[in-house]
Amino acid sequence: MAFLARFFGPRLPRDPDLARRLEAWLALPEANVKDALRASRYVVVDVETTGLDLGRDRLIAIGACAVENGQAVLADSFEIVLRQDKVSSKDNILIHGIGGEAQREGVEPVEALVGFLEFLGKSPLVAFHVTFDQTMIKRAVKEYLGFEFKHPWLDLAYVMPGLMPEYARRYRALDDWSGHFRIGNFARHSALADALATAQLLLCALPLAEAKRSRHYADLMDLEKAQRWVSWSG
Binding site for other proteins (CB under 8 A): 65, 70-75, 77-79, 181-184, 186-187, 190, 192-193, 196, 199-200, 203-204, 206-207
Burial annotation 66-102 (CB, 10 A radius, 16+ → b, else e): bbeeeebeeeebbbbbbbbeebbeeebbeebebeeeb
CB of 73 to other proteins, least distance (A): 5
Q: Which is nearer to other proteins, 12 or 126 (CB)?
A: 126
Compute the least distance from the CB of residue 187 to other proteins, in Å: 7
For residue 214, the surrounding DSSP H or E stretch is none
Q: Distances in Å between the alpha carbon of 73 and those of 64, 70, 109, 197?
A: 11, 9, 26, 13
Closest distance between other proteins and the C-beta of residue 24, in Å?
Answer: 22
Query: Is the backbone of residue 119 left (phi > 0), alpha (psi -120 to 50) or beta?
Result: alpha
Q: Which residue, 165 or 207, is less far from other proteins as judged by CB?
A: 207
191 and 79 in contact (C-beta within 8 Å)? yes
225-to-10, 67, 209, 220 alpha-carbon distances in Å: 30, 22, 15, 9
If the CB atoms of residues 12 and 61 are measured against other proteins, the closer one turns out to be 61
Q: Amino acid identity of 223?
A: L
Answer yes or no: are the C-beta atoms of 147 and 56 closer than 8 Å. no
Min. distance of Cβ 197 from other proteins in angstroms? 11
CB of 193 to other proteins, least distance (A): 7
Q: Which one-letter DSSP state was computed for residue 166?
A: G
Whether the Cβ atoms of residue 77 and residue 196 lie closer than 8 Å to each other? yes
Q: Which is nearer to other proteins, 12 or 209 (CB)?
A: 209
Complex with other proteins: residue 186 or 229, whichever CB lies closer:
186
Residue 16 CB, nearest approach to other proteins (Å): 24
Output 78 or 217, the one with its CB closest to other proteins. Answer: 78
